[in-house]
Structure 1
Amino acid sequence: MRDLFTYNWQVRDEWFNWCAEQPLEELTRQRDGGVGSILQTLLHIIDVEVSWIRAVMGKPDVPINSSEYYTLKEIRTLSQQLRPEIISYFDDDFFMEEKKKVYASWLDESFDKKDVIAHAIVHEVHHIGQLSVWARQLNQLPVSANYIGRNL
């Protein structure tokens, strides 16, 4: 599963690069589906990933205030800043104890660790699909979501 996190980060970084080539008004325009805009969707992906992984770590959730992140640069920087905390926790034990209960404070509920990790991965894949639809609506080629060939 570690490779799937790496995959998500590679694809996310490629989306950041794609966004850098787009007009700001297209990145911030409210769209049907997804979380609203392209930038809001990228921020949401980051927020959900870090919230769930912090829950797995037994740490409190630190919600990301979307009103503090307006630009592509700010969102990209946030993604890069939060990644090391997640990577540092990827030791051999991270993917063990699959039945260990993980408490999600924002849901006041517990889930199996295995399910939380899988959810954190597929949540991003889901939203990357939405970004791809929006890219095509802009007559742009989306970032490739292909796992094969990424040498993970």
Structure 2
Amino acid sequence: MITFFEYNWQVRDEWFEWSSNLTREYLVEKRVGGVESILYTLFHIVEVESSWIRGIQGKEEILIEFKHYNELEKVKKLSDTYRKEIINFLKSSLYESSNALITVPWDEDSYSKEDILHHIIAHEIHYIGQLSIWAREIGLKPISTSFIERERRGINHF
């Protein structure tokens, strides 16, 4: 499971770098599909990941509003900040109580920790695919999503 978090973070960082070459207009332009824009999609990936991890940990929900993170550098910093917390969680308690049911404030159903972690991973992969489509629509080469062709850095690198 840690390997897929590492993979997602590496690809996400490459999308942040890729996005830094775009004008603000391109970053915030409302697009068909997905969750609005390139910038909001990157924000959404970070917000969902951090919310679900906090839910697993039984921590209080923190409402992260896009209006406070409506610049690429702010979203990148948010990603880096939460990543540090998530790494500590993954290193310390990834496999503890993996089948215990967890409830979160924004959902009435309960889920296992393992299912939530799989959801977080799949969620990001889905939205990375959306970014790839938008990249092609504006005539740019998307970030490679190949898992087997990339040199993974390992959790201690992040």
TM-score by length of 2: 0.92
Asked if the contact 1:60/1:105 (under 8 Å) is kept, the reply is: no
Asked if the contact 1:14/1:143 (under 8 Å) is kept, the reply is: yes
Structure 1 residue 45 corresponds to structure 2 residue 45: yes
1:1-50 superposed Cα distances (whole Å, 9 cap, x missing partner): 00100100000000000001112101110001111010001000000000
* Structure 1 unaligned spans of 5+: none
Distance 1:37 1:97 in 2: 37
Question: 2:107 matched to which residue of 1?
Answer: 107
Question: 1:21 matched to which residue of 2?
Answer: 21
Distance 1:93 1:46 in 2: 20
* Structure 2 unaligned spans of 5+: 153-158
Distance 1:13 1:151 in 2: 14
1:96-139 superposed Cα distances (whole Å, 9 cap, x missing partner): 43211111111133111111010011000000000000000011
Question: 2:63 matched to which residue of 1?
Answer: 63
Distance 1:93 1:15 in 2: 29
Q: CA RMSD in A?
A: 1.2
1:70-121 superposed Cα distances (whole Å, 9 cap, x missing partner): 1111111111111111000113641343211111111133111111010011
Question: 2:5 matched to which residue of 1?
Answer: 5
Distance 2:131 2:139 in 1: 12
Bigger mean CA offset, 95-104 vs 46-55: 95-104
**Offset at residue 149 of structure 1 (A):** 2.9
Structure 1 residue runs of 4 or more that deviate by more than 4 Å after TM superposition: none
Identity, in percent, stands at 42
Distance 1:51 1:149, change over 3 A: same
Distance 1:46 1:112 in 2: 21
Distance 1:151 1:68 in 2: 34
Distance 1:64 1:31 in 2: 22
